[in-house]
């Protein structure tokens, strides 16, 4: 007669030890480092993504790559495997109990960081991870955020790996996944664009929400993926000197052509102001500010009519020497949040004189309630008023959101609902054709009548004050 045996195991240290032993036996935990292998972390990643879809907290996925730096041979020099093991133990020692690390390859690790971490905090974490192995290991880290970048485990993993390659290509410690720069970072075999093409400027309208007029035109580089990425970097570390020199030349070439076009418009009676996004990697470049001011002088362009824009995280990481020189010459500063969490960075890094605060309106969609979204916008407006600065919302892609932001006190906006990017030769005709507030593109105008037709709902529709 068959007997049924029931074994009851109590919770406790013994059960945990048996569980770890079973995992090791199954090959899911590396015996040398004590870290799980890739499969275990991917299972936790799937659970975290599912939690976000049910309204749970956002999280970050980090892909960490190591390479051993050359050094003098000798008995004191550690073997690569020993360095990897030491690195793994440091990861465990510095992590929170909620963080998960895993070995994903001979020289790569994955990290799951829950709790809606800030970009500034992740950058500081990357610096701390690398600092303990300075001179022995080269550490590069790629970061992807859920749900900001994707809400699918496989896609997030691909994005974190792509960000790691971007960090390696730029020779920085930590890089946030940047879709606009992906083509340049991944397709290393692609032929570089001619420098002349990289300096061709385009112009994006920034609209005054309170008066309906054109506040200024933001200078961008048309058709150059590398420059778009460099205008909004979130990485730490210094690229090679040759690369920095090339970036300075491209930036100054873009500004030179933009000022030439704008000077022609002024001779036609069209007086417009401009703004120029500064690459975060160049905020500590000593040659940039003098060269930029020399261009203004050559074109006889008034300093107050050119606003420079800089990322809040980049100012915190690089310092504000370039910005201070430009501010002292009368060039206004616009601090651009780009969804990185402005409040933290402003408190730590804001220069003395700020003319404008910019924030990414699409990031408001990550907040759970309309009360939170309204509170964030009103808080930014109140902060700007205290500094006697404007508030500009970016990424405004429908008329409902544009009207909602104006109602809450935002001064200006840019995005599809405010006007598309224009080449220089189309700017005068676009300005002449405007009567009152600019007309939004057809897709944005359609969102006024039926928001969410594309399967999504505008920020304004979700958060409209009642």
Q: Are residues 173 and 206 in the same domain?
A: no
Q: Are residues 279 and 403 in the same domain?
A: yes
CA separation for the pair 65, 62 (Å, rounded): 10
Q: If residue 111 lies in a helix (H) or strand (E), which one and from where to where?
A: strand 108-114
- Final residue of a structural domain among 115, 143, 177: 177
Q: Are residues 338 and 414 in the same domain?
A: yes
CA separation for the pair 344, 316 (Å, rounded): 10
In the chain (466 residues long), the average pLDDT of successive 10-residue segments reads 43 50 54 73 88 86 86 56 81 80 84 80 80 80 88 89 84 76 35 54 94 93 41 40 76 94 92 92 88 94 94 73 89 78 52 82 80 90 88 90 94 92 92 58 34 41 45
Single out the residue of 254, 215, 102, 120 nearest to residue 174, CA to CA. 120
Q: Are residues 314 and 399 in the same domain?
A: yes
- State the CATH number of the domain containing residue 279: 3.20.20.450
- pLDDT value of residue 252: 93
Q: Are residues 172 and 217 in the same domain?
A: no
Q: Are residues 338 and 400 in the same domain?
A: yes
Alpha helices for 305-352 (secondary structure H):
312-318, 321-328, 342-349
- Final residue of a structural domain among 177, 206, 237: 177
Residue 452 lies in a domain: yes
- State the CATH number of the domain containing residue 81: 3.30.70.270
- pLDDT value of residue 191: 38
Residue 208 lies in a domain: yes
Residue 258 lies in a domain: yes
- pLDDT value of residue 461: 52
- Give phi and psi for 353, each to the nearest 5: -115, 115
Q: Are residues 113 and 255 in the same domain?
A: no
CA distances for 280 relative to 23, 176, 191, 235, 359, angstroms: 44, 13, 25, 8, 16
CA separation for the pair 191, 183 (Å, rounded): 11
Encode 260-293: b = buried (16+ Cβ within 10 Å), e = exposed: ebbeebeeeeeebbbbbbbbbbbbbbeebbeebb
Q: Are residues 144 and 204 in the same domain?
A: no
Residue 17 lies in a domain: no
Q: Are residues 74 and 201 in the same domain?
A: no
The parent domain of residue 51 ranges over 30-177
- pLDDT value of residue 314: 75
Q: Are residues 50 and 124 in the same domain?
A: yes
Q: What is the domain count for the chain?
A: 2
For residue 398, give both structure tokens: 């429908």
CA separation for the pair 159, 145 (Å, rounded): 9
- pLDDT value of residue 17: 52
Residue 83 lies in a domain: yes
Residue 23 lies in a domain: no
- pLDDT value of residue 466: 37
- Final residue of a structural domain among 177, 210, 229: 177
Q: Are residues 148 and 204 in the same domain?
A: no
CB of 277 closer than 8 Å to CB of 309: yes
- Report pTM: 0.57
Residue 189 lies in a domain: no
What is the rounded (10 degree) CA torsion for 212, 213, 218, 221? 100
Residue 425 lies in a domain: yes
Q: Are residues 92 and 218 in the same domain?
A: no
């Amino acid at each position: 007669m068959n007997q049924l045996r029931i074994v009851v195991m109590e919770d406790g240290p013994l059960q945990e030890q048996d569980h770890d032993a079973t995992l090791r036996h199954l090959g899911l935990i590396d015996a040398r480092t004590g870290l799980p292998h890739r499969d275990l972390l991917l299972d936790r990643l799937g659970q975290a993504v599912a939690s976000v879809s049910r309204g749970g907290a956002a999280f970050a996925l980090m892909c960490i790559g190591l390479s051993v730096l050359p050094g003098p041979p000798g008995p004191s020099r550690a073997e690569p495997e020993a360095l990897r093991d030491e690195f793994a133990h440091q990861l465990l020692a510095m992590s929170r109990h909620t963080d998960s690390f895993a070995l994903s390859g001979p020289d790569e690790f994955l990290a799951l960081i829950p709790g809606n971490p800030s970009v500034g905090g992740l950058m500081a974490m990357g610096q701390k991870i690398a600092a303990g192995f300075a001179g022995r290991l080269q550490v590069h880290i790629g970061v992807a955020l859920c749900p900001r970048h994707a809400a699918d485990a496989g896609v997030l993993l691909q994005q974190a790996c792509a960000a790691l390659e971007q960090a390696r290509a730029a020779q920085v410690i930590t890089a946030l996944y940047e879709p606009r720069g992906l083509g340049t970072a991944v397709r290393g075999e692609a032929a570089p664009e001619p420098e002349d093409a990289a300096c061709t400027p385009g112009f994006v309208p920034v609209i005054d929400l309170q008066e309906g007029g054109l506040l200024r035109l933001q200078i961008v580089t048309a058709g150059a993926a590398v420059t778009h990425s460099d205008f909004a970097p979130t990485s730490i570390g210094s690229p090679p000197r040759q690369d920095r020199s090339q970036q300075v030349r491209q930036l100054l070439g873009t500004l030179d052509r933009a000022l030439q076009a704008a000077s022609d418009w002024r001779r036609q009676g069209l007086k417009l102001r401009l703004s120029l996004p500064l690459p975060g990697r160049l905020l500590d470049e000593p040659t940039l500010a003098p060269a930029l001011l020399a261009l203004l002088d050559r074109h006889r362009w008034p300093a107050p009519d050119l606003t420079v824009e800089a990322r809040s995280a980049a100012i915190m990481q690089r310092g504000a020497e370039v910005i201070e020189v430009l501010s002292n010459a009368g060039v206004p500063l616009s601090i651009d949040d780009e969804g990185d969490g402005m409040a933290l960075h402003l408190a730590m890094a804001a220069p003395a004189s700020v003319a404008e605060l910019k924030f990414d309106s699409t990031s408001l969609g990550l907040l759970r309630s309309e009360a939170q979204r309204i509170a964030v916008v009103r808080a930014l407006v109140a902060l700007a008023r205290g500094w006697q600065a404007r508030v500009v919302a970016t990424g405004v892609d429908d008329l409902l959101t544009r009207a909602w932001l104006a109602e809450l006190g935002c001064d200006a906006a840019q995005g599809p609902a405010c006007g598309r990017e224009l080449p220089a030769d189309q700017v005068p005709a676009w300005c002449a054709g405007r009567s009152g507030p600019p007309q939004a593109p057809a897709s944005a105008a359609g969102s006024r009548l039926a928001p969410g037709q594309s399967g999504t709902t505008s920020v304004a529709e979700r958060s409209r004050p009642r």
